[in-house]
Amino acid sequence: MIIKKHLILASRSPRRQLLLKQLGLKFDVVESGVDEDIDHIQIPIEHVTILSQRKAIAVGKQVEDGFVIGADTIVVLDGKILGKPEDENEAIEMLSLLSDRTHTVFTGFTILDRPSNKIYSDYETTDVTFRKIFIDEIKEYVRSGSPLDKAGAYGIQDDYGAVFVKKIDGCFYNVVGFPLTKFYLAIEKFQKELGLL
Amino acid sequence: MIIKKHLILASRSPRRQLLLKQLGLKFDVVESGVDEDIDHIQIPIEHVTILSQRKAIAVGKQVEDGFVIGADTIVVLDGKILGKPEDENEAIEMLSLLSDRTHTVFTGFTILDRPSNKIYSDYETTDVTFRKIFIDEIKEYVRSGSPLDKAGAYGIQDDYGAVFVKKIDGCFYNVVGFPLTKFYLAIEKFQKELGLL
């Protein structure tokens, strides 16, 4: 993969950083500090696209030259967005809702080119089916603290929440927090549009 | 998760070790040294079940008391088993076959109880769809050396091969090399059968 500019990831998520490293990419990490609380935008695609753009733009102000990558992941059940739980009780409530059901993970991402300020945004969806999980399992998982910084109160990759997932249908990496394949094709296309490739 | 006996993983795969650690499990690793070349067994489920049993049994001989876990993963395209490629040319050939197609990943696993020698075996399948990949991408990936120790000549989790995968349908972890959710439920059931839970 050829990237013609310096990359800046506008995300503190260690999972996203690991996924990008998996592609052999070198990048800096700058936190955006963007408020993720945009409850008024209840359309999932709009929600993740707008937040990913806000994150990239916020960090872009500090970048003279390069590609800034923003991303946002949410979990959607019955059309309702589940973001990061505010406390243990909300985490327990979210996981109880997800038990024995299929939800959809949405990740929006934005590549912002500096200094031209041109933007490329896209998103990916993946269906995730939970097995029936029991309240004791949920409580044990929530006590570990791990669900509290994750959309939908679970992490598929790095902890115990793993064994709640029976199957997924769609992009593997999207569920971890970043749709690698779509991003890979997007940044190639974007660089061609910019005349860099 | 409650495991009543010492666990021994009969696999040198670093990916499997990481997945089991993800469950918070403590275990020892002992390589089985089993010959994986059983070309005469061309039925995928039989192939992975038999090999996972052989690995567990080979290591079980060195274990006085505990659960020994064996596993085997293969890639199947058009009913044909793709194991680990023997050299770079075979890796290129395998990846060219997988391009723009859907294949199935089979993982068989066995839990052997020592000293009773009771066995619990099961397997998981996941459909994986590759995007169209180009010969230059394949050659670059193969040159990295990474495909050579992997069934079907790619690794979804830990390298560049990641971006060949468009979507998966089924167990997420199975594609990495070990079906965590099924194993989690299996070892619970097995321990109940043994009267340990």
Which residue numbers of B have CB closer than 8 Å to A's CBs?
Answer: 1, 19, 22-24, 126, 131, 156-160, 162-173, 175, 180-181, 184-185
Rounded CA-CA distance B58/B174 in Å is 23
| Active-site position among B37, B65, B72, B169 | B72
Query: Residue A173 falls within a domain, yes or no?
Result: yes
| B19, B167, B170 member nearest A167 (Cβ) | B170
Q: Does residue B81 contact residue B105 with C-beta atoms inside 8 Å?
A: no
Active site residue B122: no
Q: Does residue A131 contact residue A100 with C-beta atoms inside 8 Å?
A: yes
3-state secondary structure of B127: strand
Query: Residue A28 falls within a domain, yes or no?
Result: yes
- Cβ-based contacts of B184 with chain A (< 8 Å): 163
**B181 contacts A23? CB cut-off 8 A:** no
Query: Residue A1 falls within a domain, yes or no?
Result: no
> Alpha carbon B175 to chain centroid distance?
8
ipTM of the complex: 0.73
Nearest CA in chain B to A163: B181
Strand A119-130 with A165-170, pairing: antiparallel
DSSP state for residue A101 in the 8-state scheme? S
For Cα atoms A143, A146, A152, give the angle at the middle one, nearest 5 degrees.
105
Query: Residue B1 falls within a domain, yes or no?
Result: no
Query: Residue A144 falls within a domain, yes or no?
Result: yes
Domain count, chain A: 1
For residue A124, give the CATH number of its domain: 3.90.950.10
What number of helices (H) and strands (E) belong to chain B? Answer: 6, 7
DSSP state for residue B39 in the 8-state scheme? T
Rounded CA-CA distance A135/A80 in Å is 22
- Give pTM, 2 decimals: 0.83
Q: Per residue in A80-137, pLDDT tens?
A: 998 889 999 999 999 999 999 999 999 999 999 999 999 999 999 999 999 999 999 8
What residues does A110 pair with on adjacent strands? A70, A121
Give residue B159's pLDDT: 63
**B156 contacts A22? CB cut-off 8 A:** no
Residue of B23, B146, B168, B178 to mutate, testing the A interface (most A Cβ within 10 Å of its Cβ)? B168
Cα of first residue to Cα of last residue in chain A, in angstroms, is 11
What percent of chain A is modeled with pLDDT above 70? 97
Domain span holding position A121: 7-193
Query: Residue B69 falls within a domain, yes or no?
Result: yes
Q: Per residue in B107-125, pLDDT tens?
A: 999 999 999 999 999 999 9
Query: Residue B169 falls within a domain, yes or no?
Result: yes
For Cα atoms B141, A177, B26, give the angle at the middle one, nearest 5 degrees.
80
Q: Does residue B176 contact residue B157 with C-beta atoms inside 8 Å?
A: yes
Query: Residue B81 falls within a domain, yes or no?
Result: yes
| E strand spans, B53-148 | 66-77, 80-82, 102-114, 119-130
